[in-house]
Amino acid sequence: MIEYDEIEQRMVLKLVYYGPAMSGKTTNLLRLHDILDMEGRGDLMTLDTKDDRTIFFDLLPFFFIAPGGLKIKVKVYTVPGQVRHDATRKAVLTRADGIAFIADSQISESANNSESFENLEKNLAFVGIDIGRIPLVIQFNKRDLKDIIPENEITRVWEPTGIPIFMASALQGWGVIETFKRLVELTYDHIDIRHSLKEKHMLTKEMFVDKLTKVSTELAGQ
Amino acid sequence: MDRIDFSLGADMGLKDILSAPDVLPLLKTMVKAGADLAAVTDRKGKFLWAEGSIPDTKELPSMAMEAIAKGGRKKPETLSGVNWRLSAIYHEAEPIGFFFISAPGTVSKQFLSNLMDTAFTGLNIIIRNIVKRVFTTELHTTVVKRSYEELIEINKNLAASEKRYRELSETLDQTVKERTAELKRAYAKLLQQEKMASIGKLAAGVAHEINNPMGFIYSNLNTLWKYVKNLTEMLQFYKRQEAIGKKQEGEELYKKLKIDFILSDIYDLIRQSKDGAERIKHIVTNLKGFSHIDEAADREISINEEMDNTISVLSNEIKNRSAEIVKQYDQVAGFYGNPGLICQAFLNILLNALHSRDDNIIVTIKTEQHGDDAVISIADNGKGIPSEIQSRIFEPFFTTKEVGKGTGMGLTVAHDIISRHGGNIEVKSEPEKGSTFVITLPLRRME
């Protein structure tokens, strides 16, 4: 999964925002781009879109150097949610290190959510990733809308799975950082086991999380 | 399918992204606009592409190198000296090189800054577009390749399944035809059995109804015969007595009453009635056999012995018709069945063979064992059975003989008996060459 070049002292991580069409994956990345400090954060790159729908992917890159000298690049991708772009989803999902599943809270979208989650399970298996082991968080987006699945019902269904669940409105900007932060934390834990980030590269979890989720001072001051 | 090893936007340096034709026109424009040096360097300050007065070191001037070493990484990062400007080039948030321009002292600082901003914006647009193109192409290629492989796989499976269905549909037609024919045969057989069974019941009823009056008619005829004999004797006695006295009158009355004719005809009359009654009795017996009114117990019998018994019963008929019987017996295991019925079946078929032609009759009887079956064939050299009536010969009351000569029950009874023993009769016949009845009886029938 993870790309690690010991001689070059480089590590590239891949985080993927998955979910049904129009659930707000790109909006999540747009918000992260707006909220997070620009130091170490690249520009959001949006590949070809059609009618405001992602047909390839979006990419929000991060880059920083660990105290031990390890250069770390984190690439956050979105996948196209439409059913027809399954091949693209598989390509983007290949070698992923962590996944945020963005669900649409509207009751009318329930079927699409579960269909997309099944698609995620299927495609992870296809690219050889164990869904039980890869860092995974779920965000129920669009909490600002009416006719949404009640929070207690979501909790009742998802709590037993142990997967972290977040409520969000990417449009209004809340819940986005929390979702991303937990994904980053889980990803650190997962990588630390194999690559000893703390011991070999003097990169603590706090530092790692802080580098990726530091809120822009301009916004922080507001 | 192989897993693709695909990492979108694998790490790229400036040289991977840009090429001389992308950069040099921009750098040349800078020089034309008033810069004396315009350069793109790697992350260490070494020139990758440059235009204008290029120093021999092919790296940034010392003051710019010092600025890099201090390493401010704020973004967008523009370091500036009196007559130079330096901006870090980023790819995916990582600094991968620098853009540098310097100008002679005659050029104003403001102009230099504006020149830098314009050129740097242009360079970043070029880089972003190239990266996008690379990503898009990479992804597109991957997706197309995978989709193509999937399509090939799907196509392969489709072709295989199409082939399977085509074969199925081809054989389906044949299978349906075979099954339909089988069903037709089974249905016809069932119909025939049903017909036989109902006729059997009818026959049993008729036989019972006829048998009672038949009994007393026959018995009465016998008594009548005796009565007439006595009467005749008495009459003749009277005639002799009369001759002594009123001979004339007695003679006249005797003639008038046609006594001589009556006396001679009366026996024929009774004999004919007796024959008729006999024949009816025979039909009734056959009907009884067919409907199994009189059942005897089953036991183990020898097919060859029963055949011999049957032949001896028929010895008179064989002698009368001067027929020749050829026996070709083989060893046949004991058969469990009703000896009377089996003999009856053999008898009816043998009779049929003996009547197959008028003279020079040869009947060949073969017995043999085929596995668990006894196979008995009775062949004649008779006239044969026309093919159009072959299917009807086992039908009750079907006969080719003149009315009154055959009952049409013989083969029906034989067929019924053999069926009841789990066997079957087949007939092969060729016109003018003869017919062969082949009886197959299963030997393992122990009840």
Nearest to B432 by CA among B378, B380, B393, B376: B380
Task: Using the structure block, give the residue that is written with the tokens 């990492």.
Answer: B7
> ipTM exceeding 0.90?
no
> What pLDDT shows up at residue B407?
67
Nearest to B10 by CA among A8, A79, A28, A184: A8
B232-241 pLDDT, tens digit each: 888 888 877 7
A127 chain-B contacts, CB cut-off 8 A? 3
> What residues contact residue B240 under an 8 Å CB cut-off, 6+ apart?
none
Give the integer Cα–Cα distance in Å for A14 and A3.
9
**Degrees (nearest 5) of the Cα angle A132, A44, A17?**
20
Q: Is B281 in contact with B218 (CB distance < 8 Å)?
A: yes
B11 chain-A contacts, CB cut-off 8 A? 10, 12, 73
> What residues contact residue A12 under an 8 Å CB cut-off, 6+ apart?
A2, A3, A4, A72, A73, A74, A75, B7, B11
Pick the residue from chain B with its C-alpha nearest to A59.
Answer: B92
Asked which of A113-122, A149-158, B140-149, B294-303 is least confident by mean pLDDT, the reply is: B294-303
Q: Do B92 and A91 touch (CB under 8 A)?
A: no
Give the integer Cα–Cα distance in Å for A132 and A149.
25
> What pLDDT shows up at residue B277?
82
Q: Is pLDDT at A115 greater than 60 in this prediction?
A: yes
Q: Do A87 and B147 touch (CB under 8 A)?
A: yes
Residue in A15, A38, A47, A212 to test binding to B, most B beta-carbons within 10 Å? A47
Number of H helices, E strands in chain A: 8, 10
Give the integer Cα–Cα distance in Å for A143 and A153.
14
Please check whether residue B149 touches A, CB under 8 A: no
Segment of A40-44, A147-151, B284-288 carrying the highest mean pLDDT: A147-151
Q: Is B34 in contact with B103 (CB distance < 8 Å)?
A: yes
With b for 16 or more beta-carbon neighbours within 10 A and e for fewer, the B105-114 pattern comes to: eebeeeebee
DSSP state letters, B290-357: HHTSS----EEE-HHHHHHHHHHHTHHHHHHTT-EEEEEE-----EEE-HHHHHHHHHHHHHHHHTSS
Handedness of CA B319, B323, B325, B326 (dihedral sign): positive
* A45, A91, A127 member nearest B139 (Cβ): A91
Q: Do A73 and B142 touch (CB under 8 A)?
A: no
Q: Coil, helix or strand for B358?
A: coil
Task: Using the structure block, give the residue that is written with the tokens 């909790």.
Answer: A155
Pick the residue from chain A with its C-alpha nearest to B77.
Answer: A39
Average pLDDT over residues A82-111: 92
Q: Is B64 in contact with B81 (CB distance < 8 Å)?
A: yes
Residue in A14, A62, A64, A94 to test binding to B, most B beta-carbons within 10 Å? A94
Task: Going from the first residue of chain B to its last (447 residues), give the mean pLDDT of each consecutive group of 10, the final group possibly shorter.
Answer: 41 84 93 92 91 90 81 55 84 89 88 90 92 85 86 93 88 88 83 67 72 80 85 81 71 80 83 82 69 65 86 80 89 84 86 85 92 91 84 77 68 85 88 90 68
Q: Do B147 and A57 touch (CB under 8 A)?
A: no
Give the integer Cα–Cα distance in Å for B23 and B15.
11
Between A222 and B313, the higher pLDDT residue: B313
The token pair that represents B300 in the structure block:
């183990």
Task: Using the structure block, give the residue that is written with the tokens 């989720």.
Answer: A213
What end-to-end distance do the CA atoms of chain A give, in Å? Answer: 39
Q: Do B143 and A10 touch (CB under 8 A)?
A: no
Q: Do A14 and B7 touch (CB under 8 A)?
A: yes
**Degrees (nearest 5) of the Cα angle A143, A145, A150?**
55
Q: Do A48 and B128 touch (CB under 8 A)?
A: no
> What pLDDT shows up at residue A147?
93
**Degrees (nearest 5) of the Cα angle B190, B193, B198?**
125
B94 chain-A contacts, CB cut-off 8 A? 42, 61, 63, 71, 73
Nearest to A19 by CA among A95, A130, A106, A128: A106
CA distance, residue B92 to nearest chain A CA (Å): 5
A39 chain-B contacts, CB cut-off 8 A? 73-75
Q: Pairing mode, if any, of strands B434-442 and B373-380?
A: antiparallel
Give the integer Cα–Cα distance in Å for B321 and B314.
11
* Residue A2 pLDDT class (50, 70, 90 cuts): low
Average pLDDT over residues A187-191: 94
Which helix (H) or strand (E) segment is A130 a member of? Answer: none
Give the integer Cα–Cα distance in Å for B329 and B376.
9
- B8 DSSP β-pair partners: none
* B7, B93, B136 member nearest A42 (Cβ): B93
Which helix (H) or strand (E) segment is A221 a member of? Answer: none
Please check whether residue B6 touches A, CB under 8 A: yes
The token pair that represents A115 in the structure block:
């269909």
> What pLDDT shows up at residue B13?
81
Q: Do A77 and B8 touch (CB under 8 A)?
A: yes
> What pLDDT shows up at residue A120?
96
* Residue A57 pLDDT class (50, 70, 90 cuts): confident
CA distances for B431 relative to A166, B159, B219, B390, B428, angstroms: 98, 56, 45, 11, 10
Give the integer Cα–Cα distance in Å for A87 and B148.
10
User: What is the phi/psi pair of residue A69, to 5°?
Assistant: 100, -5
Cβ atoms within 10 Å of A80's Cβ, excluding its own: 24
User: What is the phi/psi pair of residue B328, to 5°?
Assistant: -130, 75
Give the integer Cα–Cα distance in Å for B377 and B356.
15
Number of A–B residue contacts, CB under 8 Å: 78
Q: Do A63 and B6 touch (CB under 8 A)?
A: no
A163-176 pLDDT, tens digit each: 999 999 999 999 99
Give the integer Cα–Cα distance in Å for B379 and B385.
12
**B386 upstream amide cis, omega within 30 of 0:** no
Between B430 and A141, the higher pLDDT residue: A141
Handedness of CA B140, B146, B152, B154 (dihedral sign): negative
Give the integer Cα–Cα distance in Å for A122 and A116.
10
> What pLDDT shows up at residue B29?
93
A40 chain-B contacts, CB cut-off 8 A? 93
Q: Do B75 and A128 touch (CB under 8 A)?
A: no
Give the integer Cα–Cα distance in Å for B391 and B202.
22
Give the integer Cα–Cα distance in Å for A61 and A74.
6
Residue in A95, A97, A127 to test binding to B, most B beta-carbons within 10 Å? A95
